[in-house]
Each structure stands twice: as structure tokens, then as C-alpha cells.
């Protein structure tokens, strides 16, 4: 057992600092260690054992253990293992050595823990607020259990200004976003520009954070969360829905029936199909090639229709509950789905053949937005961004879930590490998805759709699940809890890691390449912020003061 092996390796090196370990199943490892060695253990796992950093989770565990908890999750992709390093911290003044100078990818996660749970990462070099709004009073942490889900904090200071960093010498600041034609959702990049060259940037996001995790911990119940999880993202919603269900199933050691696993696989691949086609279209649109934008969307449309026929909605499939799925794929639907796939394949092949030879697109995208292997490792980049840099990782193969262990497919990689390679990877992955769905349709047997759950779910179990979303690995971590709801649920969307690579990707390249570089990670700010987006349209040319804007929004509400 690989989990046992890794545990022994850690024991040999750190001995008594390892307090206890859970090996609930092969492929999962939970190690509880003393706070003082967290940094060393993480450095060892990340550097010497060459694991990939996934996410860090902070939790207020005071109601049950009287302590705070922090978990650092890592993935051993080649060995098919997800490992979590957990530690408990005292209730008073909780702090923990920051790991972000040995694991740079942990930068955001640690700041988020500080904002939301109030655990201080000691030694973190850039402790700026990440998630909470600027006016939020200091010392109040919304993910603590003594903070009510609908509490309005006292002393919210609307006038407190965000302090931007100083731009480097000789650079001009060019603001990009929060609203920009090539950003479909709000995020702000403050670009430092020297002439036409971008020398760096500051990112400011989380403008639409809506606290879905808090709701899950205090208001929703186990089987309500999947339907809310799905609304984290408008493009890869089903991914979050499945990942959540799988994380809970992982925690309680429940296996959905095989037919449900096949249906999950099929729907996830249908989602990847529509998402990749959409992305190729948008990428072309960003570089000004609208012909292909139109054609991608046209080819994509039948995929949306078949999803609507199977699940009742073209995008929000409302697919999973814990232990299974809600919708079946009837035999006549199978035939229809096959026909859609055949047509898609026939139409996508000539498009790919044309695009892969199109010099204009190549000129616009080659050597642009470069994220090399080193950046992939340091920032924990995932999905097509990583695969385009030659990093051979794919959760579908590395951490098989649903029915992926029963189908054959290739993991597409490229080695340009640039936007062009990402186009190539995504364009080709469409064919792999078609292959996977065909195999599932072939292999799935009749049977129940949901596992029977007879008792309330056990309390205090840990579970995690990684699902390969169209943009990379989506990772959910769950601690089961009382009152028919999880005690802690942490969502890590792929863009959360990929966005952290953007400053390095756009550095020292033309300002005009910024849009496609950012677009090439297929950013999904909703996922990252865990919220929904609001679209305000006004034709009036007027500079609004903050106060005027506030009055306007208040009026709009009533």
C-alpha cells in the first residue's frame, strides 16, 4: 500500500512528531503532526518526495476539539495518492509557521486562512488581505463558528481604501479590470508597464465572494449542498457537484452504484466537451478571430441540447446527491448521445486540422504567456496549463474516480508551455472525451442509481476528492459534522492555483498579450471567489462616486 509506504517514510524522518495517521483507503492518507514540524514536513513532501501542492484548509474545530485545525493537502500524482498533513492549534491566538517560502503555491491559501479563520501564518512575506472586503473590521473572521451565517459585522468602514503596492521604478500603472471586455467576471489586475512591456502586476480579486462554504456549514444540509455547489461555477458546475458528493462519500466510505459512476463520468465529459469548445471559441475571440468563435459555438450547441435532454437543463445538471445520481440515461437517449458525438467528431476534426496549421493564430499565441515546468511546480498549476508545459498529470488517470478506472484514454500533453500549446491540448482533449463517453455507453449496465443510506452520516470523518475539471483539478475537502451537514467544506477550484501563476506568465511580454495570456488559463473567477456574478449595465457617461453608487444599488434592490 502506497499510503503506508509514504507514512513509513515520514515516520522514519520525523518520528514522534507524527501523532497519528489515518489510512481510510488506498489513495488517501491523513497524517496528524505537531505544529512545530509542519513546515519541515511540508518542505520534505513538496521537495524531497516531489509531491504537488493542492491546497491548505483552515477550520474552526473549537466546538468539537477545542482547537483550530489546519490541513495542507498534497497530491502524489504518479503514485495515485492524495495526502493531507493536519495539525491542531490552540484556541487562543492560533498561529502556524507559514509554508509559503518553501511551497510558494500556498501563498493565497494561507492568506485566505488568515482572513476567514484568523490563523496567523507566521513568516508569510506578503500578508495583504485576500478575500475579505477592504472595509471589513479587523479581527473578525467569518468562518469561525461563533460568527453567525447572516451576521452583519459592526464597524464596517466603507471608506477604507485598498492600499496598492508601489509599482517598480520607471513603470507606469495600467489598470486592467474589474470590468473589461475580455474578462467575463470581475477581477482587477494592476499592471506595471514599461513602454509596451509588462513588468509585473498586482492582483485584486474575490470581489464576488459570497460565502457559500459558510452557508454549507450552518444552513444547508448534506443533500442540499450539491445543488448549491453546482452554482459555484457557470461552466464547470457539474464538476463541483460531483466533487462534493465524492468527498462526502470518501469520508463515509460509501460507494455509489456502478451505473451512477458511469453516468457521472458521462456528464463530466459532456461538460468538458462544452467547456473546451467554448474556450477555443473565446480564445479565438480574444485574439480577434471571430469566425472560429462562431463555429465553435455552433458545434457546441448540440452538446448543450443533449445535456438538457438528459438532465432537464442545458447547464445546471443538478446531477448528484450523496450516494448516486438523480437522472438516468435511457436507451433511446444513448442512441441520441452517440449521434451527437459522431456529428461533433465529424465537425471538430476539420476545424482542428485547419486551426493547427493556421499561422496567424500561431503568431499570436506562440511564446506568449509562458508557464514552464518550474512555474507549474512552484505555483501548483494544473490542468491544460500544466499539460501544455509537458507536465503529465490528469486526475482522471492519477486519482481515478467515478468510472474512469474502467475506460481508456490518453492524457494529451504538449511542450511549448505557451498559449498555443494550451490551444492544442484543449482541441485534442475533445476527442478523448468523445472516446470516454462512447466507452461508458458501451460498458454501463442496468442497475440502481443511488446507494441506499439508512443511517445518519458519521461525524468527524475526513474526506477529499479531486476531479479533473476542464480547467484543471477541482479539489474538495470535507469534515463530516453534526446536524446533517458538514463541519467544514473547502472548495479549491482550478483557477485558484492557476491565477497565481498569471503574474509570472505575463511578465516581460507585450501589454497586448495580457488578455490572451489570462484567457489561456480559462479563468473562472466565480469558482475562485465561490460566488455568483452580477452584471450592471448603464449607458450614462458619468463618474459615480462611491456614495452615489451605493444609493443606486440600494434602490435597485427594492
Partner 1 sequence: MSLLSKLKEAAVCLKAGRVTLPYPAQAQPVPPKFRGRPIFDAAKCIGCAGCANNCPAREILVFDVCQEVRILKYLGRRCTYCGRCADVCPEDAITMSHEFENATNSIGDIQQKLDLFMSTCQRCGRCFKEPSPLEQLKLKGYRFDDLANEQWIFRSQAYLTEEAAVDDVKIELD
Chain residues that interact with partner 1, rule: CB under 8 A: 148-150, 218-225, 227-228, 231, 291-292, 294-295, 298, 301, 305, 308-313, 316, 318, 321-323, 326-327, 347, 350-351, 353-355, 357-360, 452-457, 483-484
Question: CA angle, corner 495, sides to 490 and 500, nearest 5?
Answer: 105
Rounded least distance, CB 345 to partner 1, Å? 14
105 vs 321, beta carbon nearer partner 1: 321
CA 339, CA 352: separation in Å to the nearest integer?
A: 20
Grid cell at residue 505: 506568465
Is 193 within 8 Å of 180 (Cβ atoms)? no
Closest separation in Å from C-beta 245 to partner 1: 11
With respect to partner 1, which residue has the nearer C-beta, 50 or 342? 342
Min CB(315)–partner 1 separation in Å:
11
Asked whether the beta carbons of 119 and 94 are under 8 A apart, the reply is yes
Least distance CB 450 / partner 1 (angstroms): 8
Q: Which is nearer to partner 1, 166 or 482 (CB)?
A: 482
Would you say 18 or 340 has its CB closer to partner 1?
340
Minimum gap (Å) between residue 388 Cβ and partner 1:
21
Mapped onto helix, strand or coil, the DSSP state of residue 439 is helix
CB of 494 to partner 1, least distance (A): 23
User: How far is it, in rounded angstroms, from Cα 229 to Cα 531?
Assistant: 10
Phi-psi bin for 67: left (phi > 0), alpha (psi -120 to 50), beta? beta
How many other β-carbons are positioned within 10 Å of the β-carbon of residue 208?
18
CA–CA dist 181, 376 (Å, integer): 28
Query: To the nearest whole angstrom, how small is the minimum distance from the Cβ of residue 228 to partner 1?
Result: 5
Pairing relation of β-strands 120-122 and 95-97? parallel
Closest approach, Cβ 372 to partner 1, in A, equals 27
Comparison of 14 and 289: residue with beta carbon closer to partner 1: 289
What is the nearest approach in angstroms of partner 1 to the Cβ of residue 197?
Answer: 27
First to last CA, the chain: 60
CA 470, 376, 493, 285 torsion-angle sign: negative
Please check whether residue 460 is in contact with residue 252, taking contact to mean a CB–CB distance below 8 angstroms: no
Q: Which is nearer to partner 1, 379 or 531 (CB)?
A: 531
For residue 435, count other CB atoms closer than 10 A to its CB. 17
Listing from the earlier edge strand, what are the strands of the sheet with 188-194? 172-176, 188-194, 197-204, 509-510
* 195/312 with CB nearer partner 1: 312
* Nearer residue to partner 1 within complex by CB, 45 or 304: 304
In eight-state DSSP terms, residue 456 is P
Which CB, 96 or 239, lies closer to partner 1? Answer: 239
DSSP element (H, E) containing 190:
strand 188-194
Amino acid at each position: 500500500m502506497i499510503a503506508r509506504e509514504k507514512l513509513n517514510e515520514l515516520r522514519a524522518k520525523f518520528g514522534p512528531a507524527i501523532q497519528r495517521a489515518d489510512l481510510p483507503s488506498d489513495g488517501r492518507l491523513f497524517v496528524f503532526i505537531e505544529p512545530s514540524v509542519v513546515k519541515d514536513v511540508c518542505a520534505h513532501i513538496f521537495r524531497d518526495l516531489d509531491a504537488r501542492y493542492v491546497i491548505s484548509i483552515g477550520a474552526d474545530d473549537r466546538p468539537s476539539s477545542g482547537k483550530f485545525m489546519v490541513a495542507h493537502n498534497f497530491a502524489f500524482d504518479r503514485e495515485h495518492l492524495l495526502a493531507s498533513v493536519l495539525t491542531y492549534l490552540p484556541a487562543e491566538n492560533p498561529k502556524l509557521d507559514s509554508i509559503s517560502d518553501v511551497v510558494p503555491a500556498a501563498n493565497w491559501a494561507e492568506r485566505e486562512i488568515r482572513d476567514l479563520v484568523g490563523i496567523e501564518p507566521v513568516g508569510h512575506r506578503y500578508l495583504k488581505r485576500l478575500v475579505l472586503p477592504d472595509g471589513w473590521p479587523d479581527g473578525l473572521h467569518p468562518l469561525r463558528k461563533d460568527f453567525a451565517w447572516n451576521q452583519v459585522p459592526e464597524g464596517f468602514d466603507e471608506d477604507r481604501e485598498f492600499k496598492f503596492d508601489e509599482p517598480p521604478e520607471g513603470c507606469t500603472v495600467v489598470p486592467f479590470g474589474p470590468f473589461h471586455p475580455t474578462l467575463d467576471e470581475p477581477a482587477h489586475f494592476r499592471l506595471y508597464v514599461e513602454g509596451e512591456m509588462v513588468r509585473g502586476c498586482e492582483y485584486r480579486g474575490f470581489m464576488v465572494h459570497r460565502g457559500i462554504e459558510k452557508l454549507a456549514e450552518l444552513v444547508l444540509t448534506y443533500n442540499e449542498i450539491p445543488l448549491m455547489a453546482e452554482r459555484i461555477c457557470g461552466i464547470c458546475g457539474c464538476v463541483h457537484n460531483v466533487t462534493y458528493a465524492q468527498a462526502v462519500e470518501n469520508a463515509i466510505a460509501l460507494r455509489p452504484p456502478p451505473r451512477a459512476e458511469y453516468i457521472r463520468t458521462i456528464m463530466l465529459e459532456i461538460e468538458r466537451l462544452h467547456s473546451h469548445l467554448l474556450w477555443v471559441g473565446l480564445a479565438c475571440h480574444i485574439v480577434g478571430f471571430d469566425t472560429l468563435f462562431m463555429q465553435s459555438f455552433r458545434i457546441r450547441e448540440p452538446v448543450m441540447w443533449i445535456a438538457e435532454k438528459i438532465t432537464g437543463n442545458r447547464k445546471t445538471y443538478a446531477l448528484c446527491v450523496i450516494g448516486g445520481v438523480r437522472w438516468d440515461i435511457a436507451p433511446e437517449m444513448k442512441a441520441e448521445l452517440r449521434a451527437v458525438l459522431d456529428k461533433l467528431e465529424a465537425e471538430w476534426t476539420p476545424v482542428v486540422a485547419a486551426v493547427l496549421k493556421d499561422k496567424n493564430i500561431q503568431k499570436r499565441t506562440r511564446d506568449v504567456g509562458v508557464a514552464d515546468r518550474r512555474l507549474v511546480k512552484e505555483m501548483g498549476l494544473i490542468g491544460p496549463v500544466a499539460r501544455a508545459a509537458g507536465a503529465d498529470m490528469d486526475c482522471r488517470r492519477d486519482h481515478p474516480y467515478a468510472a474512469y478506472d474502467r475506460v481508456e484514454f490518453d492524457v494529451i500533453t504538449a511542450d511549448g508551455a505557451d498559449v498555443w500549446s494550451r490551444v492544442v491540448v484543449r482541441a485534442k482533449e475533445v476527442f478523448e472525451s468523445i472516446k470516454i463517453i462512447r466507452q461508458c455507453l458501451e460498458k454501463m449496465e442496468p442497475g440502481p442509481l443511488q446507494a441506499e443510506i439508512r443511517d445518519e452520516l458519521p461525524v468527524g470523518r475526513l474526506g477529499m476528492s479531486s476531479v479533473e475539471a476542464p480547467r484543471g483539478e477541482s479539489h474538495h475537502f470535507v469534515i463530516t459534522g453534526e446536524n446533517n451537514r458538514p463541519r467544514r467544506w473547502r472548495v479549491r477550484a482550478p483557477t485558484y492555483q492557476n491565477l497565481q501563476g498569471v503574474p509570472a506568465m505575463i511578465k516581460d511580454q507585450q501589454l497586448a498579450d495580457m488578455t490572451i495570456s489570462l484567457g489561456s488559463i480559462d479563468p473562472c473567477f466565480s469558482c475562485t471567489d465561490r460566488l455568483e456574478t452580477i452584471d450592471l449595465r448603464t449607458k450614462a457617461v458619468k463618474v459615480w462616486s462611491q456614495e452615489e453608487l451605493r444609493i443606486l444599488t440600494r434602490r435597485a434592490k427594492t
